[in-house]
Structure 1
Amino acid sequence: MSLIKFTPRDRDIFSDLFAIQREMNQAFNSVFNRDEYTGLTNWNPATDIVEGKDEYTVRIELPGVSKNDVKITIHDNVLTVQGEKKQESENKENNYHRVERSYGSFMRSFRLPSMVKGEKIDANYKDGILTIVLPKAEEAKTKEIEIKF
């Protein structure tokens, strides 16, 4: 199995489905004059995966998530990132007119197309972006074979 190269023209089918879900929620809430979406949900943070010559780089948007609330594992060449974005405690004196920020748990799993060096994986979290660098194992790197005469 190999990764499919992304081109900006490609559309994510799930973004269209999420847009339809948002519109349905807004329509339902406007009919019954109820508060819009509470924000509590399971969510899928946006993720980029880039394959370089010697490594894979995974970048995941996790704004507002504490690094202590994120767990990264790799098993059978499947990278799993899971965690939780906790809702801030509400001030009962405030009257919220709108709540649009999402809170809740998330879990993303990605099967890597080649083996990686598990002991050399590096993860950094800065400015709401989790960056995971997974060096390829030697047997996963492309090798040129010399033809002997």
Structure 2
Amino acid sequence: MTLVRYNPHTRLTALPNEIERFFRGYGLDSDDSDTVWNPIIDLSETETSYEIKAEMPGLNKKDIQISFKENVLSLTGEKKGETEEKEPNYHRLERSYGKFERSFRFPKDVKQDSIKASFKNGVLTVEIPKAEEEKPRAIAIS
């Protein structure tokens, strides 16, 4: 039987990780960034393209910016909170607001000029077509 000594400091070293995990569970970052809300993303791949679907309830397409640079697709924007004249008496407040940024790196086989995006019923769909694979060809020896 192996004897293990109790070290009271072991639990303290895990405390920062536990605090960060706690805040992540509530959609909050423990750092000082402005990002509080991030859209939920599905990223899929077929033989001919990649597809991103992002749930963005409460946003309009004018609230979202999409950019593609150096094989990185970035979705940025801001989900603005509702403002009311009178102060409400909240019993529960679960919705999050704020700026967001999600970035995805793609392989070099992407047709950058053919990327398409649509926004319907609070879901952003971005289709990123793959470039056609170069087919091997025979070279005649002269």
**2:5 corresponds to which residue?**
none
**2:22 corresponds to which residue?**
20
Per the alignment, do residues 90 and 125 of structure 1 end up closer, same or farther by CA in structure 2, a change over 3 Å counting? Answer: same
Q: In structure 2, how many angstroms separate the alpha carbons of the residues matched to 1:89 and 1:105?
A: 16
- Output the TM-score relative to the length of structure 1: 0.66
Whose Rg is larger?
A: 2
1:107 equivalent among 101, 108, 132: 101
Letter of the aligned partner of 1:20 in structure 2?
F
Per the alignment, do residues 18 and 51 of structure 1 end up closer, same or farther by CA in structure 2, a change over 3 Å counting? Answer: farther
Letter of the aligned partner of 2:121 in structure 1?
D
Q: Give aligned-pair identity as a percent.
A: 46
User: Which string of whole-angstrom CA distances, capped at 9 and with x for unpartnered residues, describes residues 14-64 of structure 1?
Assistant: xx987622679xxxxxxxxxxxxxxx8522211111111111101111111
Letter of the aligned partner of 1:105 in structure 2?
K
Q: In structure 1, how many angstroms separate the alpha carbons of the residues matched to 2:77 and 2:20?
A: 21
Letter of the aligned partner of 1:107 in structure 2?
E
**2:130 corresponds to which residue?**
136
- Aligned residues, how many? 115
Q: In structure 2, how many angstroms separate the alpha carbons of the residues matched to 1:47 and 1:107?
A: 12
Larger proportion of helix? 1
What's the CA shift for 1:98? Answer: 2.1
Per the alignment, do residues 17 and 57 of structure 1 end up closer, same or farther by CA in structure 2, a change over 3 Å counting? Answer: farther
2:78 equivalent among 84, 94, 118: 84
Letter of the aligned partner of 2:128 in structure 1?
L
- Assess if the C-alpha contact under 8 Å between 1:41 and 1:102 holds in 2: no
For structure 2, the 5+ residue unaligned runs are: 1-17, 27-33
**2:6 corresponds to which residue?**
none
- Output the TM-score relative to the length of structure 2: 0.69
Q: In structure 2, how many angstroms separate the alpha carbons of the residues matched to 1:85 and 1:112?
A: 26
For structure 1, the 5+ residue unaligned runs are: 1-15, 25-39
